[in-house]
């Protein structure tokens, strides 16, 4: 088990091969989602697996024309099914829960050689119409999923001392 290798080597993939994603790999990715933690273990989420070409194209369009979304063999759309639950810390639970599940999904995909790219730039209303998502459900993110057709990109990150302080906020 080398979680750090996946965390440090993964990068966003914006070009995909036409090769389909094997069913057993897809199932494992969905299992990673299912096993993710959530606030009070509520699991108020739904993940839509899209393989239909026309639907993927429509999703790419609603994501401001990010065409690589439509080119991947699979697109996964991540939704929170209960948006009213606010945690004691003041944060809505669904955005946190769904984001954790997406992060686990992305790392599991990476371990199996599959690429993803977190997509936050999309029109939620249009996405909901395309996928028949009920009014009260919120779309948190989507990601294309498939074999990368690009080399891994370099990571640009702040240094540790820019993002950590000890004992108090500095
Ligand atoms: C919340 C969120 C929203 C993002 N939205 C998009 C997006 O709409 N399109 C895109 O190409 N990348 C998007 N990204 C990917 C980031 O640009 C990328 O993760 C960041 O530049 C770091 O690069 P890396 O993923 O290759 O390490 C998003 C990432 C996050 C976490």
Angle (nearest 5°) at CA 75 between 103 and 111: 45
* Closest atom of ligand 1 relative to the 10 alpha carbon: 27
Q: How confident is the model at residue 1 (pLDDT cuts 50, 70, 90)?
A: confident
For 13-45, the pLDDT digits (tens) are 999 999 999 999 999 999 999 999 999 999 999
Residue 54: predicted pLDDT? 98
Q: How far is the CA of 54 from the centre of ligand 1 (A)?
A: 24
Residue 48 pLDDT more than 80?
A: yes
Instruction: Output the pTM of the full model.
Output: 0.98
Q: How far is the CA of 143 from the centre of ligand 1 (A)?
A: 10
Residue 143: predicted pLDDT? 98
Q: Residue 116: beta bridge partners? A: 145
Provide the 3-class DSSP secondary structure of residue 169. Answer: coil
Residue 50 pLDDT more than 80?
A: yes
Residue 136 pLDDT more than 90?
A: yes
Pocket test residue of 12, 66, 102, 105 for ligand 1, highest count of atoms within 8 A of CB: 12
Place of tokens 């998502």: 133
Pocket test residue of 117, 148, 157 for ligand 1, highest count of atoms within 8 A of CB: 117
For the segment 94-101, the average pLDDT, to the nearest whole number, is 98
Percent of the chain at pLDDT exceeding 90? 99
Q: How far is the CA of 1 from the centre of ligand 1 (A)?
A: 26
Angle (nearest 5°) at CA 13 between 137 and 150: 160
Q: How far is the CA of 20 from the centre of ligand 1 (A)?
A: 23
């Amino acid at each position: 088990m080398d979680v750090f290798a996946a965390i440090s080597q993964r990068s966003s993939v914006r070009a995909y091969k036409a090769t389909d994603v094997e069913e057993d790999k897809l199932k494992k990715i969905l299992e990673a989602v299912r096993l993710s933690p959530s606030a009070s273990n509520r699991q108020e989420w739904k993940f839509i697996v899209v393989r239909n070409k026309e639907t993927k194209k429509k999703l790419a369009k609603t994501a401001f024309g990010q065409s690589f979304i439509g080119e991947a063999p699979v697109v996964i759309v991540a939704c929170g099914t209960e948006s009213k639950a606010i945690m004691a810390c003041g944060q809505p639970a669904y955005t946190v829960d769904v984001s954790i599940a997406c992060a686990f999904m992305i790392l599991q995909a990476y371990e199996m050689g599959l690429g993803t790219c977190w997509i936050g730039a999309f029109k939620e209303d249009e996405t909901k119409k395309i996928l028949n998502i009920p009014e009260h459900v919120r779309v948190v993110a989507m990601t294309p999923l498939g074999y990368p057709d690009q080399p891994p990109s370099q990571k640009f990150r702040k240094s540790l001392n820019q993002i950590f302080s000890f004992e108090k906020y500095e």
